[in-house]
Amino acid sequence: MTKGYDRLRLQPSLGREAERAAGMTLDAFVDLVAAEKLSALRTDHYFRERAARGDVARALELVDRAGDEPPREGDQVEEVG
């Protein structure tokens, strides 16, 4: 049996405003917010793990081997005035 997470202590006015602003029930809004936050935390964890395995010296070697060709058509960066 799973643990119930169905109790949320929230000021009634805050709950009503959240429902109004989100255009959905408070339960749906809390589910969405929790899912988005978990996704952000997992993404942060993933990139921290990848960074820990990174090899800066090897990456710089690859950049040095890339050559000095100009950007291909459509790959230029537009300058912001």
Tell me the pLDDT of the chain (81 aa) as tens digits: 466 666 778 899 999 999 999 999 999 999 999 999 999 999 999 999 999 999 999 999 988 888 778 878 888 888 887
Query: Measured between alpha carbons, how far is 13 from 4 in angstroms, rounded to an integer?
Result: 24
Provide DSSP, 2-14: PPP-------HHH
For residues 8 and 26, the answer to whether their CB atoms sit within 8 Å is yes
Domain ranges of the chain: 12-65
Query: Measured between alpha carbons, how far is 43 from 64 in angstroms, rounded to an integer?
Result: 29
Q: What is the pTM of this model?
A: 0.60
Residue with tokens 């408070």: 26
Residue with tokens 């960074």: 51
Q: Which among 40, 38, 36, 11 is positioned nearest to 26, based on CA atoms?
A: 11
